[in-house]
């Protein structure tokens, strides 16, 4: 078997998440289908650096693939893209060593959550960012970001039923930045915000729950003290709703 490390960018709107499922359309399922056609074999394997949820996007999802044919890495991305739908693209491919694993070899990941409270959003923005109506105290939300930094128990920030050995995660960086019409999304909103978080690992829906808590903070529904308490004590109720998936992007995996 030949092993490659590929980097994949995708718009997750019409997919039921990254991980392959028997009947639903998934990113990994489409990748596997392309690999089977390319190698003319059913004997293909793939694993991703993270299992993004339905509707979530990735700018640089990293995967390990194994195929029973030897293809120059320079040609692999082009060959795969000719067989993939237009909302999935392999943007890089290199030969990988046997011990490379996209999850266990990773040092950290960065997720971005893009949102706006601009009531005049373009109709083209619906699948690519989230609209939170009403006034938001952005400066208070920035203080909330600082509370998330460090090593904490994020048991209040995970999807119910998730089985993990530990809910402790380390957040290396967490910030909220405002961008205006000069930014990438200038055709979608006059101004928008990006919640940027880098950590050594993330629980299922952790970033979306962090974003939901920050929105509650910005609307005055919770306090900074509530946020601090949520990282120390199990709560009966979440501090905010799970933020919608379309604003979330897996931006980068660091090795």
Task: Answer yes or no: 53 catalytic.
Answer: yes
| CA 85/CA 35 separation, integer angstroms | 13
| CA 175/CA 183 separation, integer angstroms | 17
Which residue out of 43, 53, 118, 180 is catalytically annotated? 53
| CA 207/CA 249 separation, integer angstroms | 10
Helices 27-39 & 73-81, crossing angle to 10 degrees? 110
> Which three-class secondary structure string do you get for 46-102?
EEECCCCCCCCEEEEEEEEEEECCCCCHHHHHHHHHCCCCCCEEEEEEEECCCCCCC
Catalytic machinery residues: 53
């Amino acid at each position: 078997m030949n092993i490659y490390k590929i980097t994949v960018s995708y718009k997750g709107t019409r997919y039921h998440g990254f991980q392959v499922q028997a009947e639903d359309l998934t990113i990994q399922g489409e990748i596997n289908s392309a690999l089977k056609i390319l190698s003319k074999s059913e004997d293909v394997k793939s694993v991703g650096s993270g299992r993004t949820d339905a509707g979530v996007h990735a700018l640089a999802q990293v995967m390990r693939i194994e195929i029973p044919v030897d293809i120059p890495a320079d040609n692999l991305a082009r060959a795969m893209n000719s067989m993939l739908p237009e909302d999935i693209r392999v943007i890089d491919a290199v030969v990988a060593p046997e011990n490379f694993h996209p999850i266990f070899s990773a040092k950290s990941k960065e997720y971005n959550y893009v949102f706006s409270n601009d009531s005049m959003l373009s109709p083209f923005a619906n699948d690519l960012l989230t609209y939170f109506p009403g006034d938001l105290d952005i400066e208070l939300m920035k203080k909330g970001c600082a509370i998330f930094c460090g090593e904490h128990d994020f048991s209040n920030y995970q999807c119910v039923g998730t089985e993990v050995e530990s809910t402790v995660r380390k957040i290396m960086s967490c910030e909220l930045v405002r961008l205006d019409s000069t930014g990438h999304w200038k055709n979608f909103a006059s101004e928008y915000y990006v919640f940027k978080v880098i950590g050594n690992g993330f629980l299922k829906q952790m970033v979306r729950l962090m974003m939901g808590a920050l929105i509650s903070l910005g609307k005055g529904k919770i306090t900074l003290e509530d946020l601090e308490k949520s990282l120390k004590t199990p709560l009966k109720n979440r501090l905010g709703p799970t933020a919608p998936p379309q604003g979330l992007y897996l931006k980068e995996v660091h090795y």
